[in-house]
C-alpha cells in the first residue's frame, strides 16, 4: 500500500506536481473549507485555478471540507485514489504521532473519500465531504492520497531533510495550515506556534513573521527566550521594511517548544478585517544535504542584517513550515 502519486494534491496554486514546485508551503487550494454546494464536481472543477476557501465558522462543529485532485497519469484508464485528512494541533508536521490519530471524518463516519480519473489532467472531487470542528482552536490539516483504502502513514521524521524530501517527492501529500480568529475590540494578540528539531544534533534555524493590514503604529514581534529569539518592530503601511521581523538561532537537538508571536495595537485601535500574521520556519541546509536544492538564499528570506550575518554560503534556507492567523 502506498501513496497515489498519479494524483496531484497541490501545495499552492503554482504547484504542477514537480519536486521543485511541490514544497511544504501548507496552503493547499485543494483542501477546501466551503459552505455546502449543490454540485461539488462542477463547482470545484471549474474553479480549479483559484483558492475558493471560505472562513471557518468557529461556532460550528461541522464545517464542510471538500477535496480535489488532478490526474498525472501517463496512460488512460480508471484510477482510484483515497484521500485522508488529518488535523494537527501544531503548525509543523514533523512528528507524525501528533496528527496521525486525528483523522477528519465524513458525515457517514468514513476516514477517507474517493477520487477517480480516467485520463491525464482530469480533475476529480472527493465523493463526500469531511467535517471540521470549528470549536477547536487549531486548523492545521495534512492530506494524503492513498492507492487503496488502507491507510499509509510515514514514521516520525528523524531529520528535517527526510521531512522536506517526503513533501517534495510525493505529489499526493499536501497541507493546509490556517488559523482563523474573529476581529473585534481587543488591543492585544498572542499566539503560540510550534518549533521543532527532531534531530540528534543542534540545527541552525530561522523564523519570519510577516504582518498585513495592521493599523499604523502596531507593535508586533516574535520571541523564545530559551532559543534567544526576540525581535519586534512597529508596523507602518507605507514602509515595507516594517511588515516583517526575522530572527535565527541554533535549535538544540530534539527540541520541542514554541515561538510566541505577539502584537499590541495603538490605543483606541481595533483589529481591522483582513489583518493577518504569517509565520514561516526555515532550516539551514548545507550543500551536501539533498534538500539544499529547494533552498533560498538567506538574503531573500531574512530582513535583519544582523541576523543575516549568522548564515554563510553555500548554505541555504529551506522552508519547513508555515502557519497563518487571519482576523475576519
Q: Is residue 214 part of a domain?
A: yes
Residue 213, pLDDT > 70, answer: yes
Q: Are 98 and 156 in contact (CB under 8 A)?
A: no
What pLDDT score does 138 carry? 76
> Is residue 11 within 8 Å of residue 170, measured between CB atoms?
no
**In terms of domains, do 133 and 225 share one?**
no
Does residue 77 sit within a domain?
A: yes
Of 178, 204, 235, the last residue of a domain is 178
Range 93-109 average pLDDT: 90
Digit-coded pLDDT (tens) for 219-247: 999 999 889 999 999 999 999 999 999 99
Asked if the structure places residue 295 within a domain, the reply is: yes
**pLDDT score of 90 more than 70:** no
pLDDT in tens, 241-295: 999 999 999 999 999 888 899 999 999 888 888 899 999 999 999 999 999 999 9
Look at the chain and report how many structural domains it folds into: 2
From 192, 253, 181, select the one nearest 223 (Cα to Cα).
Answer: 192
Would you say residue 1 lies in a domain? no
Is residue 2 domain-resident? no
Judgement on whether residues 153 and 186 belong to the same structural domain of the protein: no
Residues 208 and 128 in one domain: no
pLDDT of residue 290: 96
Within a domain: 232: yes
**Mean pLDDT, to the nearest integer, of 82-90?**
88
Question: What value does the mean pLDDT take over residues 35-47?
Answer: 95
- Residues 114, 134 within the same domain: yes
149 shares its domain with 186: no
Taking the C-alpha atoms of residue 238 and residue 253, their distance in angstroms, rounded to an integer, is 41
Q: Select from 77, 76, 96 the least CA-distant residue to 86.
A: 96
Domain end (from 178, 200, 229) = 178
My answer on whether 145 and 192 are in the same domain is no
pLDDT score, position 91:
60
Is the pLDDT score of 25 beyond 80?
no
pTM for the complete prediction?
0.85
117 and 137: one domain? Answer: yes
Predicted confidence at residue 184, as pLDDT, reads 66
pLDDT at site 1 = 65
Considering the domain architecture, whether residues 283 and 144 belong to the same structural domain is answered as no
Q: Write the secondary structure of the chain as one string of H (helix), E (strand) and C (coil).
A: CCECCCEECCCCCCCCCCCCCCCCCCECCCEEECCCCCCHHHHHHHCCCCCCCCCCCCCCCCEEEEEEEEECCCCCCCEEEEEEEEEECCCCCCCHHHCCCCECECCCCCCCEEEEECCCCCEEECCCCEEECCCCCCCEEEEEEECCCCCCCCCCCCCHHHHHHHHHHCCCEEEEEEEEECCCCCCEEEEEEEEEECCCCCEEEEEEEEEECCCCCEEEEEEEHHHCEEEEEEECCCCHHHCEEEEEEEECCCEEEEEEEEEECCCCCCCCCCCEEEEEEEEEECCCCHHHHHCECHHHHCCCHHHHCCCCCCCEEEEEEEEEEEEC
Task: Indicate if the pLDDT at residue 105 is higher than 70.
Answer: yes
Domain edge (last residue) among 178, 212, 242: 178
Laid out side by side, the sheet with 203-212 consists of 113-117, 79-88, 140-146, 173-181, 316-327, 276-285, 203-212, 244-251
* Residue ranges making up the domain that contains 198: 182-327
The predicted model gives 177-203 an average pLDDT of 81
Residue 291 and residue 247 share a domain:
yes
187 shares a domain with 138: no
Q: What is the model's pLDDT at position 193? A: 84
Flag whether pLDDT at 182 surpasses 80: no
- CATH, residue 296: 2.60.40
Same domain, 247 and 150: no
Check whether 64 has a pLDDT greater than 90. yes
Residue 142 pLDDT more than 90? yes
Say if residues 207 and 293 touch (Cβ distance below 8 Å). Answer: no
> Both 164 and 220 in a single domain?
no
Residue 251 lies in a domain: yes
Amino acid at each position: 500500500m502506498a501513496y497515489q502519486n498519479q494524483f496531484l494534491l497541490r501545495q499552492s496554486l503554482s504547484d504542477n506536481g514537480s519536486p521543485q514546485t511541490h514544497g511544504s508551503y501548507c496552503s493547499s487550494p485543494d483542501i477546501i473549507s466551503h459552505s455546502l454546494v449543490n454540485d461539488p464536481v462542477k463547482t470545484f472543477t471549474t474553479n480549479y485555478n483559484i483558492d475558493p476557501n471560505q472562513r471557518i465558522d468557529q461556532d460550528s462543529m461541522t464545517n464542510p471540507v471538500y477535496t480535489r485532485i488532478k490526474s498525472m497519469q501517463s496512460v488512460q484508464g480508471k484510477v482510484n485514489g483515497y484521500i485522508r485528512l488529518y488535523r494537527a494541533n501544531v503548525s509543523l508536521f514533523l512528528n507524525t504521532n501528533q496528527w496521525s490519530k486525528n483523522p477528519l471524518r465524513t458525515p457517514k463516519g468514513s476516514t477517507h473519500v474517493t477520487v477517480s480519473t480516467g485520463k491525464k489532467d482530469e480533475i476529480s472531487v472527493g465523493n463526500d465531504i469531511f467535517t471540521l470542528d470549528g470549536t477547536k482552536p487549531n486548523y492545521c490539516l495534512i492530506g494524503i492520497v492513498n492507492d487503496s483504502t488502507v491507510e499509509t502513514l510515514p514514521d516520525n521524521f528523524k531529520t528535517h531533510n527526510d521531512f522536506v524530501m517526503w513533501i517534495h517527492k510525493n505529489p499526493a501529500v499536501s497541507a493546509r495550515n490556517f488559523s482563523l480568529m474573529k476581529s473585534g475590540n481587543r488591543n492585544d494578540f498572542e499566539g503560540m506556534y510550534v518549533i521543532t528539531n527532531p534531530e540528534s544534533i543542534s540545527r541552525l534555524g530561522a523564523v519570519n513573521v510577516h504582518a498585513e493590514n495592521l493599523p499604523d503604529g502596531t507593535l508586533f514581534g516574535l520571541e523564545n527566550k530559551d532559543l534567544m529569539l526576540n525581535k519586534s518592530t512597529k508596523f507602518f503601511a507605507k514602509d515595507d521594511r516594517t511588515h516583517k521581523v526575522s530572527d535565527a538561532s541554533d535549535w538544540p537537538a530534539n527540541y520541542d517548544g514554541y515561538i510566541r508571536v505577539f502584537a499590541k495595537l495603538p490605543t483606541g485601535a481595533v483589529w481591522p478585517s483582513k489583518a493577518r500574521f504569517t509565520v514561516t520556519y526555515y532550516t539551514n541546509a548545507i550543500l551536501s544535504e539533498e534538500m539544499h536544492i529547494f533552498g533560498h538564499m538567506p538574503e531573500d528570506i531574512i530582513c535583519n542584517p544582523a541576523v543575516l550575518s549568522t548564515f554563510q554560503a553555500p548554505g541555504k534556507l529551506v522552508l519547513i513550515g508555515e502557519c497563518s492567523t487571519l482576523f475576519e
